[in-house]
Amino acid sequence: MAEKIKMATPLVEMDGDEMTRVIWQMIKDILIKPYIELNTVYFDLGLKKRDETEDQITTDAALATKKYGVAVKCATITPNAQRVEEYNLKQMWKSPNGTIRAILDGTVFRSPIIVKNIKPFVRTWKKPITIARHAYGDIYKDVEFRVPGPGKAELVFTSGEGETHRETIHDFQGKGVILGMHNLDKSIYSFARACFNYALDVKQDLWFATKDTISKKYDHTFKDIFQEVYDNEYKDKFERANLEYFYTLIDDAVARVIRSEGGMIWACKNYDGDVMSDMVATAFGSLAMMTSVLVSPDGNYEYEAAHGTVTRHYYRYLKGESTSTNPMATIFAWTGALKKRGELDNLADLISFAEKLEKAAIQTVEDGVITKDLADLIVPEDIKVVNSEEFLLAINERLQSIL
Ligand code: NAP
Ligand code: MG
């Protein structure tokens, strides 16, 4: 066998929980370590370790990502009351992704892995559509009030100098509801920059949409900040790369995306991104084929699968049953991270290996060798449903012939 590929800078590796933790190990053993002299700084974000370290390990992993620049993360349990009992936890630790996102201050980009024999539900879609979701504010940090009966609701802002700005929201004659929400220029600027950088990185057009005709200050501020950042910092780079920045109203964007061939980054405000990413993921076929990357404004990258730890499969695995969990999105988290590491360190062989591994994985599915979740989505029906390990071995066969 040829000599193993060497790495210059370590990857930050964040291990996780349940079925994805099992698959994580298999991917490394079967598809990575035989070919690469894998160099990682390892953090065990499995729930047991997070509990032992009072969740310090999650913070350490995020800080290491800031130091080294590229991380790959396995899915992790976000504890709820039932998990506190199941794992006998000291407390209900926060979502690791939330903690990491707060430290890296990033934007999350989600895109589907496209294979020829899974037809998107939308006939015209030929290329992936990436949703870039703003991850701060709006209704996710709102204040709500249930109006009990007649009365006047006002919007009051008191400045640092004590000056007030006051506006009537509504004179209620009976019961109703009110909601107050906010966002920050700083957060919108970094969202905009993350989107423009990512578009340049993957060489795709950037679309952005809000409801600025109705929301003349709130949504209009988003529109204005994106335009200002584009004009001042990205216009030349986009023109040189032959890329387009396109702004339109959210309802127009929805109509155009459905009619399009795909192949763009679609930047969405927080709520729009929440809703649209589930729609796009489902329309492309399966959550198990959706990748996710967190990009921070200062250029750090954290790659992961969009799905969770696949608990139901894990309980079957613990009973000794063979499971057919789809490892595609987790493999692509690894290849995404290896490619980015290769780009940053100028390692052509590392980039080329990651590309070949992606090709082998796609080839396997296109040959009809698939995990159970894809069985109903694949055309034609000439398929072989295998378990996770058999699937990885099938990818490895194809990888070896490509290499
Ligand atoms: P999930 O792990 O994504 O799984 C939900 C269902 O989707 C599975 O039961 C399975 O359906 C199907 N599925 C998802 N990924 C699959 C794959 N790779 N291969 C085959 N089928 C797949 O979501 P969940 O059950 O709601 O959450 C489980 C745990 O994951 C929770 O503790 C949650 O906190 C955590 N979570 C973590 C992340 C993250 O770390 N980024 C994200 C989401 C959830 P069938 O059972 O019908 O086969
Ligand atoms: Mg959602």
User: Which CATH number is correct for 1-108+294-367, 3.90.700.10, 1.20.1630.10, 3.40.718.10, 2.40.50.100?
Assistant: 3.40.718.10
Task: Report CA(275)–ligand 2 centroid distance (Å).
Answer: 6
Q: Is 312 in the pocket of ligand 1 (CB under 6 A)?
A: yes
∠ CA 355-359-361, nearest 5°, is: 115
> CA–CA separation, 361 vs 367, rounded Å?
10
Give the closest ligand to the alpha carbon of residue 73: 1
Class of domain 119-140+182-284: alpha beta
The pLDDT assigned to 46 comes to 98
Reading the chain (403 residues) residue by residue, the pLDDT tens digits are 678 999 999 999 999 999 999 999 999 999 999 999 999 999 999 999 999 999 999 999 999 999 999 999 999 999 999 999 999 999 999 989 889 988 887 789 999 999 989 888 898 999 999 999 998 889 888 899 999 999 999 999 999 999 999 999 999 999 999 999 999 999 999 999 999 999 999 999 999 999 999 999 999 999 999 999 999 999 999 999 999 999 999 999 999 999 999 999 999 999 999 889 888 988 888 889 999 999 988 889 999 999 999 999 999 999 999 999 999 999 999 999 999 999 999 999 999 999 999 999 999 999 999 999 998 888 766 789 999 999 999 999 999 999 8
Q: What is the pTM of this model?
A: 0.89
Task: Report CA(326)–ligand 1 centroid distance (Å).
Answer: 11
The pLDDT assigned to 297 comes to 80
The pLDDT assigned to 381 comes to 67
383: exposed, middle or buried (C-beta count within 10 Å: 0-12, 13-18, 19+)?
middle
Q: Is 373 in the pocket of ligand 1 (CB under 6 A)?
A: yes
The pLDDT assigned to 1 comes to 60
Per the listing, tokens 């084929």 go with 289
Angle separating helix axes 185-202 and 218-229, nearest 10 degrees:
50
> CA–CA separation, 289 vs 305, rounded Å?
8
Q: Calculate the alpha carbon distances from 57 to 46, 48, 364 in Å.
A: 10, 11, 36
Reduce the DSSP state of residue 19 to 3 states and report it: helix
Q: Is 374 in the pocket of ligand 1 (CB under 6 A)?
A: no
Instruction: Specify the DSSP element, H or E, that contains 153.
Output: strand 151-158
Give the closest ligand to the alpha carbon of residue 268: 2
Q: Is 282 in the pocket of ligand 1 (CB under 6 A)?
A: no
DSSP string covering 118-131, please? Answer: B--SSTT--S--EE
Q: Is 76 in the pocket of ligand 1 (CB under 6 A)?
A: yes
Q: Is 311 in the pocket of ligand 1 (CB under 6 A)?
A: yes
Residue nearest to atom 23 of ligand 1 (CA): 308
CB atoms within 10 A of CB 191: 29
Q: Calculate the alpha carbon distances from 23 to 29, 150, 211, 215, 217 in Å.
A: 10, 58, 42, 46, 48
Nearest CA among 1, 14, 8 for reference residue 303:
14
- End-to-end, the C-alpha distance of the chain in Å comes to 11
27: exposed, middle or buried (C-beta count within 10 Å: 0-12, 13-18, 19+)?
buried
In the chain, CATH 3.40.718.10 sits at: 1-108+294-367, 119-140+182-284
